[in-house]
Amino acid sequence: MKLGAFSISLAVKDIHKSKEFYEKLGFMVFADQIEKGYLIMKNGNALVGLFQGMFENNILTFNPGWDESANNLDDFDDIRTIQKQLKKEGIKLETEADENSSGPASFLILDPDGNVVLIDQHV
């Protein structure tokens, strides 16, 4: 199963303080929508999303069809294929992608400890 680029999406209290902290760790702004309450920071292949006021808990995020630089991949598993496989494996989906659609879609699952895992395809 090819899940694509991985990032952690952090629910932060003060996006400016968090940005400054991660810059000190060597992260640079990769995608900036700070006026809307979020930005993505990158250090090598490591991606951290900072989100203020958008969700309550941290989220593990996978992006089928993207690499760590948000470049489209030619070879990837479509989100609907991944969703079907997880259902076969007995994993409960919190939200589902429309299996009759194509292109961008997303779904949510929870790991055994209640951590949110977002599978979010943009292509």
Instruction: Determine if the pTM surpasses 0.85.
Output: yes
Instruction: Name residues of the chain where pLDDT drops below 50.
Output: none
CATH class of this structure's domain 5-121: alpha beta
pLDDT reported for residue 91: 97
- Distance CA(22)–CA(41), nearest Å, equals 8
pLDDT tens-digit map of 93-105: 999 999 999 999 9
CB 62 within 8 A of CB 5: yes
Q: Which amino acid is at 38?
A: Y
- Enumerate the domain spans of the chain: 5-121
CB 15 within 8 A of CB 50: yes
- Distance CA(119)–CA(63), nearest Å, equals 6
